[in-house]
Amino acid sequence: MRIGIDLGGTKTELIALDKTGAARLRFRRPTPAGDYAATINMIADMVAQAEGESGETANIGIGTPGAISPRTGRMKNCNSTCLNDQPLQQDLELALRRPVRLSNDANCFALSEAIDGAAARSPVVFGVILGTGVGGGIVVNGQLLEGVNSIAGEWGHNPLPSANREERPGPPCYCGRKGCIETWLSGPAMRRDHIACGGQDITAAEITRMATEGDAACMLTLERYCERLARALAGVINILDPDAIVLGGGLSNISLLYEQVPRLWSSYIFSDSVSTRLLPPAHGDSSGVRGAAWLWGR
């Protein structure tokens, strides 16, 4: 049995998978806000509950909102800031009395969709998170590619490609730079762009809904979003040339993306034809936690 845990800022989810990928059990708990020690204890309690209910000891994989620094062995780049600079893997291994495997939540999403999801059996897969932030992960022949700096797939903190005059220098990003892809393609970024172009102060979900109902301003916002996403993904294709790109996060539910973006990205890709498929996730919100379980392989 494999246990996957998706450690989020507000909730933590656990799933137990058998060797076929079928879920044995699944449950959630609120994440202790800003309390590192309580987070460790919560994860240990969740594992104890799952193993008690199943009667089996499991391998443990955990998806985190950051990455382990190769230099320090401690967590970095976590938006759940209480995890930053903490020896999370070591503390979890002490609490659980066994080895654990950790990876970024976007990596776990990509792994899930490459193993038994929308891009199953695809040799090279790029998994994308489009939500409150923008992240990505790379899977090659069923193996997660994390990189020597533990930042493989972090396309959200590259500049938006082919930025026009109105897009430069771009909005400020929490990373300290301006015009990052995340500042154009996250949910809050869509809301900001809509307001900047004269629209109402409404959420990305409301913009999407109103566009489908025929609101012209909302439709223009979605069209701008599709064009920017096409440019950003074209840059990935020019470097990685993946067989499939799978979208996740709340904005992956926008059906227009799968129609418009592949039509638009060809203008920016260095090839006479583009066979890369753009796919919605097979497992939806479950992909992250399933991918954490697959950190131990099939």
- Locate 114 and state its tokens: 């490459």
Token pair 């869509």: residue:
190
Q: In percent, how much of the chain has pLDDT > 90?
A: 89
Largest CA-CA distance found in the chain, in angstroms, rounded: 61
Residue 88 has pLDDT above 80, yes or no: yes
pLDDT at 111: 97
Residue 132 sits at φ, ψ, to 5 deg, of: -60, -35
Summarised one tens digit per residue, pLDDT across range 137-152 is 999 999 999 999 889 9
The DSSP secondary-structure symbol of 121 reads T
Q: Which residues of 231-268 are buried (b: 16+ CB within 10 A; e: fewer)?
A: bbbbbbbeebebbbbbbbbbbbebeebeebbbebbeeb
3-state class of 192 per DSSP? helix
Confidence label for 133 from pLDDT (cuts 50, 70 and 90): confident
pLDDT at 161: 96
Confidence label for 9 from pLDDT (cuts 50, 70 and 90): confident
pTM over 0.85: yes
Residue 69 has pLDDT above 80, yes or no: yes
| Cα gap 209→202, rounded to integer Å | 11
Confidence label for 8 from pLDDT (cuts 50, 70 and 90): confident
Summarised one tens digit per residue, pLDDT across range 181-217 is 999 999 999 999 999 999 999 999 999 999 999 999 9
Query: Which overall architecture, per CATH, does domain 2-108+286-296 show?
Result: 2-Layer Sandwich (3.30)
In CATH terms, are 2-108+286-296 and 120-281 the same topology? yes
pLDDT at 234: 98
Please report, for the chain, the start and end positions of each structural domain, with discontinuous segments joined by +.
Answer: 2-108+286-296, 120-281
pLDDT at 174: 84
Q: In percent, how much of the chain has pLDDT > 70?
A: 100
Beta strands, E only, the chain: 2-7, 11-17, 23-30, 59-64, 67-68, 75-76, 100-104, 124-130, 134-140, 143-145, 244-248, 277-279
| Superfamily designation of domain 120-281 | ATPase, nucleotide binding domain (3.30.420.40)
Confidence label for 19 from pLDDT (cuts 50, 70 and 90): confident
Give mean pLDDT, residues 67-72: 92
- Per the omega criterion (within 30 degrees of 0), is the bond before 262 cis? no
- Locate 143 and state its tokens: 């193996």
pLDDT at 66: 86
R_g (Cα) of the chain, nearest Å: 19
Q: Across the chain, what does the average pLDDT equal?
A: 95
- Locate 38 and state its tokens: 């309580």
Nearest-CA neighbor of 109 among 175, 69, 157, 64? 64
Summarised one tens digit per residue, pLDDT across range 149-167 is 889 999 999 999 999 999 9
Q: Which amino acid appears at position 262 of this protein?
A: P
Residue 33 has pLDDT above 90, yes or no: no
Summarised one tens digit per residue, pLDDT across range 238-295 is 999 999 999 999 999 999 999 999 999 999 999 999 999 999 999 988 899 999 999 9
